[in-house]
Structure 1
Amino acid sequence: MSEATTYIAKVRDEIVSRDPNQPEFLEAIDNFFNSITPVLEKHPEYIKANLLGRLTEPERAFQFRVPWVDDAGNVQVNRGFRVQFNGAIGPYKGGLRFHPSVNLSIVKFLGFEQIFKNSLTGLPIGGAKGGSDFDPKGKSDNEVMRFTQSFMTELQKHIGPDLDVPAGDIGVGAREIGFMYGQYRRLNGYQAGVLTGKSLQFGGSLARTEATGFGLLYYTAAMLKDQGETLEGKTIKLSGAGNVAIYAAQKAAELGATVLTASDSNGYVYDPNGIDYKIVKQIKEVERGRIKDYADRVATATYYEGSVWDFDVDYDIALPCATQNEIDGGRAARAIQNGAKIVNAGANMPCTPEAVKAFKQAAVIVGPAKAANAGGVAVSALEMSQNSERLSWTFEEVDQLLKRIMEDIFKESAEAAKTYGLGNDYLAGANIAGFKKVAEAMMAQGVI
């Protein structure tokens, strides 16, 4: 084995012995390590500096108790987390996820991925992630307010506009961001740049709501352009019905593609005429209903229980926008049989390693989350810039910057893959391109 291969194996063994019960984090580590051997072979100084050992250990991680009172007067307790993974290139930046599945392993996996996603944007932001095992579904506005105020009372000790700037993620939308910002302001005074994804009335950015979904399609369009094609006439199987999925469906329609499906945790709808994102938005964002309601309103749509990835229909592009590991090896095989040529990640790590392997063997192009869904954090960073300037940019200005950033991310990932002889392995290319900037910053800053 080469020195690089031996070193990677050594670091991985250390991580496994230290964190054996963190499967999501270990999966993220493996996905990353599988890509960067050629970089370490070219840069033995990274090995001597034990760069991977330092990069895979968070700079700091917090776990804290979140007590709150429900509407019945009962005291509930949840766990809160914040992992500030790497700040070599700028203040920590990453979302907060409220979902029953949240634990330290998931937060570490998301924070580790965020390092390279943020690096790829070309903006000066480091990687972090956080959240709680609190489930906002079925909770009243007052319950959500009491929980988020308690959560922020602890979190505010560790964040700030030039230190760590959280944003939203699954389960954390405008309502939750508003409540948390209000509590932060109550305790610390007005500091607009401490959270992103805010409402426009108090420092939010136009196009932030649309950013991840729009960015996913800008990235997909750049990928197709590299192949001499466009989105015009393409069919898309999409999972999810949240923020990313809704605005991905909107931009896909604007660029001439047809989105056939949308889903939530109960099931999915199929509409051969194309999903109407406006109806999905009304159901999920306004009414807080279930995707089943879509089929009750659209005559051409059919509702099915289960996973959309177990449904057979011919399509060109897969856009998984729901959650991690939603496509396994068996579902990847089905996607290949259905004709998928491109799989771009709207969610974080939506494909298992077995699925990625199957796609590569079938010459299906995979766009990783750290590249394909970086639009959200890119516009969050642009929101930070607007807050610092005390200015608000137009929707068109932000959208054009987003489009350029996503095109640049694809270009840098593609060039990195080609430089290291990896063809169109954009997953490896994104890992390498994101890693190199962080690695150079860490090397320049000494052993910290």
Structure 2
Amino acid sequence: MPEPEKRNCQDAESCFFEIATSRLKIDSNLLQFLRTPFREIKVEIPLVREDGTLQVLSGYRVQHNNVLGPFKGGLRYHPAVNMGEFRALAALMTWKCSLVGIPFGGGKGGIACDPKEFTAKELQELTKSFTAKMHHIFGPRLDVPAPDVGTNPRVMAWIYEEYNKYNGYSPGVVTGKPVELGGSYGRLEATGRGVALITRYVLKRLRKEVERRSIAIQGFGNVGAHTAKFLNEMGAKVIAVSDASGGLFNKRGMDVESLLRHFRKEGKITGFGGAEPISNEELLALECGVLIPAALDGVIHKDNAGRVKASMIVEAANSPLTYEADQNLLERGIPVVPDILANAGGVTVSYFEWVQNIQGYGWEEERVHSELERIMLRAAQAVVDTAEREKVDYRTAAYMIAVDRVAKAMELIGF
């Protein structure tokens, strides 16, 4: 295992980029181009609340690179978002799409707000006002948003409707839509399904089996809940889960189907009778076969990385490890399956949805599942093969593959 490297980077993504590109023969001018976003936009959105007060909120979109296809990436509604965060996440999307071989570039954006503090009517108005200010840079061949933290298929439906006012019927302008509006079967659970597929594959390459493997999942939203469902169906033993309300632990393994029914009914995992309470920090420090952070970024950092006792980490969230945490785990020989591979199932099925919208022809759900598995396992094999051949960790291998593909495309068109 290589020695950890000390670097001074603006964010974890740029550190990982620098490590990978130090092993690639890429012209320095091209490297600078690859670091630099194509476009960054900030808009101010006035919103008259239902109580008559005016609130002005900030909206963002960063478009990183589109050499492989239209910009692609989620819209996040969260009070802590900022341009720097979206800049890193947009680059992450460029590398993710490149790694799995789908014809998209990278983008990311959203609104600095807490959606829980707004009524449905206010959220609809906020979303449509944001779309009205951004519609000239959105489009099926330009930039295709999708759900992310704090957004969902209903928000995508509002964007779809507002964009169509200006541009006519264009179902491919967003993915993650309701099926009734041209969404794809299998999209809602796609990220969690992909995480489970990748987890099983990497375990197998490490000569371990997923059956009876103890799993801890930090975050039990759409991604975490579906990851638990599919790993449970594969025979894994889910021993701990957590969400914003708290965590649960049962060393013998939970009844995941009962937990999912409880979660759908109550909207939170606390109160479930089949496990004992545990904090999020305690979950991250559990001894387990696989730890899956599936919530927000930066949950494993320099102050708690040393307490991680999992045998393997699978990043279901985007950037759940800081650079310092990643290097700590690398030094201790704990493999990390990176986000640009592990959670690429969502954008892969978004690609399928976009294809269906462009062709005007829907796919059966079985085709979505089989194509997702084919693409995810092809990418996983490439990453593990590269890691073994180049004697690097999985993240560096994934970045080497992804960045090299984009760099070669840039050279071909003449950057």
Question: TM-score scaled to structure 2, two decimals?
Answer: 0.93
* One-letter amino acid of the structure 1 residue matched with residue 40 of structure 2: A
- Write out per-residue CA displacement over residues 339-367 of structure 1, whole angstroms, 9 at most, x where no aligned residue: x2110100011112222122112211101
1:283 and 1:52 mapped to 2: Cα distance? 49
Partner of 2:222: 243
Of 257, 277, 297, the residue aligned with 1:303 is 277
Q: Using a 3 Å threshold, how does the CA distance of structure 1 residues 331 and 168 change in structure 2: closer, same or farther?
A: same
- Write out per-residue CA displacement over residues 130-152 of structure 1, whole angstroms, 9 at most, x where no aligned residue: 11112111422111111111111
Of 386, 389, 395, the residue aligned with 2:359 is 389
- Write out per-residue CA displacement over residues 135-186 of structure 1, whole angstroms, 9 at most, x where no aligned residue: 1114221111111111111121211101111101100112211222222223
Answer yes or no: is the 8 Å Cα contact 1:120–1:409 preserved in 2. Answer: yes
1:281 and 1:107 mapped to 2: Cα distance? 31
1:421 and 1:228 mapped to 2: Cα distance? 18
Gaps of 5+ in 1: 1-8, 17-22
Partner of 2:344: 374
- Write out per-residue CA displacement over residues 283-341 of structure 1, whole angstroms, 9 at most, x where no aligned residue: 66675x3432xxx2x3222234553545x5431101000111101234332222xxx21
Written as runs of structure 1 = structure 2, the 5 A alignment for 1:39-438 is: 39=24, 43=25, 46-48=26-28, 50-277=29-256, 289-292=267-270, 296=271, 298-309=272-283, 312-336=285-309, 340-422=310-392, 425-438=393-406
Answer yes or no: is the 8 Å Cα contact 2:242–2:280 preserved in 1. Answer: no
* One-letter amino acid of the structure 2 residue matched with residue 441 of structure 1: A
Q: Shift of residue 211 of structure 1? A: 0.7
Q: Using a 3 Å threshold, how does the CA distance of structure 1 residues 306 and 30 change in structure 2: closer, same or farther?
A: same
Q: Shift of residue 206 of structure 1? A: 0.7
1:150 and 1:131 mapped to 2: Cα distance? 12
Partner of 1:34: 19
1:420 and 1:232 mapped to 2: Cα distance? 30
Q: Shift of residue 260 of structure 1? A: 2.0
Q: Shift of residue 67 of structure 1? A: 1.5
* One-letter amino acid of the structure 2 residue matched with residue 321 of structure 1: A
Of 400, 408, 413, the residue aligned with 1:440 is 408
2:262 and 2:31 mapped to 1: Cα distance? 45
1:278 and 1:98 mapped to 2: Cα distance? 29
2:51 and 2:105 mapped to 1: Cα distance? 41
1:165 and 1:276 mapped to 2: Cα distance? 38
Q: Shift of residue 78 of structure 1? A: 0.9
CA RMSD of aligned residues (A): 2.0
Q: Shift of residue 221 of structure 1? A: 1.0
Q: Using a 3 Å threshold, how does the CA distance of structure 1 residues 106 and 139 change in structure 2: closer, same or farther?
A: same
Q: Percent identity between the aligned chains?
A: 34
Question: TM-score scaled to structure 1, two decimals?
Answer: 0.87
Answer yes or no: is the 8 Å Cα contact 2:154–2:177 preserved in 1. Answer: no
Q: Using a 3 Å threshold, how does the CA distance of structure 1 residues 398 and 79 change in structure 2: closer, same or farther?
A: same
2:154 and 2:281 mapped to 1: Cα distance? 28
Q: Shift of residue 436 of structure 1? A: 1.0
Q: Using a 3 Å threshold, how does the CA distance of structure 1 residues 226 and 87 change in structure 2: closer, same or farther?
A: same
* One-letter amino acid of the structure 2 residue matched with residue 329 of structure 1: K
Higher relative contact order (CA 8 A, sep 6+): 2
1:272 and 1:160 mapped to 2: Cα distance? 48
Answer yes or no: is the 8 Å Cα contact 1:96–1:129 preserved in 2. Answer: yes
**Counterpart of 1:237 in 2: which secondary structure?**
strand
Q: Shift of residue 100 of structure 1? A: 0.6
* One-letter amino acid of the structure 2 residue matched with residue 435 of structure 1: V
Q: Shift of residue 273 of structure 1? A: 4.9
Q: Shift of residue 101 of structure 1? A: 1.0
* One-letter amino acid of the structure 1 residue matched with residue 394 of structure 2: Y
